[in-house]
Amino acid sequence: MSALNNIFFWIAVVLSVITVYKMYLSRRTTGFAAREFHIPETVYPIAFALAVFIAVFVRIYQFGSVPGGFNQDGAMAAVDAKALADYGTDRFGMRLPVHLTGWGYGQMSALLSYLMVPFIKLAGLTPVTARLPQLLASLAGLICLYLFIRDAFNKEAALVVFFFAAVNPWHILQSRWALDCNLYPHFFMMGIYFLHRALNKKRRRLCLCISMILFGLCMYCYGISIYTMPLFLLLACIYLLAGKKISVRDALLAFVVYVAVAWPFIAVMAINFFQWDSIETPLFTLPYFPDSVRSNDILFFSDHVFTQLADNFKSLVNITLLQKKDLPWNDVEHFGTMYLFSIPFAVAGLCSLFGELRRKAGGTFVLLFLLTGIWCGLMTRNVNVNRLNIIYYPIIILAGIGIYEVIRRISLHRIEWGLSAAYCLSFVLFAHTYFTDYADYMAYFNFKDFSDAVSSIKEDPARKFYITPDCRHEGASPASEILTMFWHETDAEYYQNKATPAGWLPYSEKYTYKLISELSIRPEEDAVYVITADDLVYFDSSLFSFQQFGTYYVVRNLYSRPKTFAG
């Protein structure tokens, strides 16, 4: 794969350099105009349908089981979603919080949990119902991406960009698991589409209001929206007013709608910045998080601003231009976020936007979207793919536009077929890796063995569960409890010790999360243990049965409950 990446990369560099040079010549000398790239009316629907099929299929194939197990942050969002579905509170009993209590002390965006509620109401708490909102938001983002490029540029460019997005590694990966912050780029993209639609006279103010609602909801997707979303809106407003594309009245209407949606989140940020008390209103709760430390990630609050800025810039370049390996769940090795050879095309696309497309409002929106992503990378400590997720839609657009310009400006016979073949081959290799080797790799990081073990005891009649907190790493980890609550569909009021089913012990007595080495193991106790393989030495094989789940075991007491289990 490395050799193939190198070949494709240098081909992309050569094609992009020639394209940029021809764009330059076309603005200074006659005779270098780009050719028309026209897709026949009979072919276009077929090509578009194929792209849609690929986009949907690769995102729903083995959905819920790949990646295996479940991410701990996604599990926490889902557990809170179940509590909201059942009682209108989070798992701690806070009524309709605007922001969630991450890991019992910090902050976590709430929109994903609220979007999970109807699916959990209909079909219970499962990996599928927990991941569906992210999948649907991702598909909605793709649809709005296509419609935006079609309206802003033309339908041929839209098809190229859509095809590139359909097979894009970043877009595929984030659509298949539940993480609150990954909603942000999709709501941003949807907002930009409707904002651009608002520039047309037909239903102008309706589209403007819809865009502001979506931008307002962005604030509930990810905390960094507090210093990224307003920047984009301010720059867009200045551009639109200066170009007389909207009126002052329209701008005021947009401001009112945006603030009407976003003010509870802004109020939560103010409460936590000024350390005010939580506020409970008749509609929702504005919480204060006394132990939160996330503000330290923002450059403004750094003790070493210039050193941190340099580090942030380095991280920004590594994650975007160089596509260096990030956290395991954010990219697949050898494929990066965009395929490693796509960045030269993105540079060509950027040059195109600064060229003949600069007069288009859509091109300006893309540039402002990109600038907002760069601002995010510079202001946020050591960004990774998740923290920088809003930059990927503009890069996808730039790469797609760059490919479109290569096709238009380089006179090679059927060059579009060659580029399509390169991306199809890369996509096939990526998909094969994702559903085989990478799926096995991610099963470890998503706690699959541990999840299988705790899932197996969900209906066990034992009075007590002793569960190791060592669900993946050495030492105690709070992830084991939230994962157990997810797989056991733990009732929020039972977790709060408010309601205990008949014949059960209270939650705090039934579930114990301790290292097995810290327990006093009694063979006569009616208990089940979830342990690591290293903990087997603490159990007498003549008194206990052992059920293996990879590197974890479920241990049952034979003395108090004479049963046999497959080992």
pLDDT digits (tens, 9 = 90+) for 386-419: 999 999 999 999 999 999 999 999 988 789 999 9
Average pLDDT score over residue span 150-159: 96
Of 438, 468, 495, the residue that ends a domain is 438
> With contact defined as beta carbons under 8 Å apart, do 45 and 132 qualify?
no
> With contact defined as beta carbons under 8 Å apart, do 93 and 101 qualify?
no
Q: Are residues 199 and 233 in the same domain?
A: yes
Q: Cα–Cα distance between 95 and 65 in angstroms, integer? A: 32
Number of CB atoms found within 10 A of residue 279's CB: 15
Query: At residue 33, what are phi and psi to the nearest 5 degrees?
Result: -65, 145
* pTM > 0.75: yes or no: yes
Residue 562 has a pLDDT of: 44
Of 379, 405, 438, the residue that ends a domain is 438
321, part of any domain? yes
Q: What tokens does 285 get? A: 């709760």
Average pLDDT score over residue span 425-430: 96
> With contact defined as beta carbons under 8 Å apart, do 376 and 383 qualify?
yes
- Residue 475: pLDDT band with limits 50, 70, 90: very low
Q: Are residues 169 and 193 in the same domain?
A: yes
Range of the domain at 78: 2-438
Q: For residues 353-385, b (16+ Cβ closer than 10 Å) or e, as one string?
A: bebebeeebbbbbbbbbbebbebbbebbbebeb
CA-CA-CA-CA torsion for 521, 526, 528, 531, nearest 10 degrees? 0
Comparing C-alpha atoms, which of 87, 137, 77 is closest to residue 107? 77
Q: List CB contacts of 282: < 8 A, sequence separation 6 or more.
A: none
443, part of any domain? no
The radius of gyration of the chain from alpha carbons, rounded to an integer in Å, stands at: 26
Q: Are residues 77 and 115 in the same domain?
A: yes
565, part of any domain? no
Q: Are residues 420 and 479 in the same domain?
A: no
Give the neighbor-by-neighbor strand order of the sheet with 527-532: 511-513, 464-467, 527-532, 552-557, 544-549
At 354-363, the pLDDT tens digits run: 876 567 899 9
Q: Are residues 428 and 460 in the same domain?
A: no
311, part of any domain? yes
Query: At residue 330, what are phi and psi to the nearest 5 degrees?
Result: -100, -20
At 114-145, the pLDDT tens digits run: 999 999 999 999 999 999 999 999 999 999 99
Q: Are residues 197 and 235 in the same domain?
A: yes
